[in-house]
Amino acid sequence: DAKTTQPNSMESNEEEPVHLPCNHSTISGTDYIHWYRQLPSQGPEYVIHGLTSNVNNRMASLAIAEDRKSSTLILHRATLRDAAVYYCILEGSGGSNYKLTFGKGTLLTVNP
Amino acid sequence: DTGVSQDPRHKITKRGQNVTFRCDPISEHNRLYWYRQTLGQGPEFLTYFQNEAQLEKSRLLSDRFSAERPKGSFSTLEIQRTEQGDSAMYLCASSLAGFSTDTQYFGPGTRLTVL
**DSSP notation for chain B:** --S-EEE-SEEEE-TT--EEEEEE--TT--EEEEEEE-TTS--EEEEEEETTEEEEE-TTS-TTEEEE-GGGS-EEEEESS--GGG-EEEEEEEE---SS----EE---EEEEE-
Q: In a mutagenesis test of the B interface, which of A62, A99, A102 is the best target, namely the one with the most B β-carbons within 10 Å? A: A99
pLDDT value of residue A77: 95
Under an 8 A CB cutoff, do A104 and B41 touch?
A: yes
Q: In a mutagenesis test of the A interface, which of B29, B69, B101, B105 is the best target, namely the one with the most A β-carbons within 10 Å? A: B101
Residue among B108, B41, B32 at smallest CA distance from B67? B32
pLDDT value of residue A29: 85
pLDDT value of residue A30: 85
Q: Please, which pLDDT band fits residue A98 given cuts at 50, 70 and 90?
A: confident
pLDDT value of residue B1: 56
In whole numbers, what is the pLDDT of chain B averaged over residues?
93
pLDDT value of residue A2: 61
Which residues on neighbouring strands pair with residue B36, listed in sequence order? B44, B90
Q: Please, which pLDDT band fits residue B99 given cuts at 50, 70 and 90?
A: low
Min Cα separation A28/chain B (Å): 14
pLDDT at B63 over 60: yes
What confidence tens digit (pLDDT) does each residue in B19-35 have? Answer: 999 999 999 899 999 99
pLDDT at A1 over 60: no
pLDDT at B5 over 90: yes
pLDDT value of residue B72: 85
Q: Which residues of chain B from 3 to 62 reach within 8 Å of chain A, CB to CB?
A: 4, 31, 33, 35, 40-45, 48, 50, 55-56
pLDDT value of residue A28: 87
pLDDT at A93 over 60: no
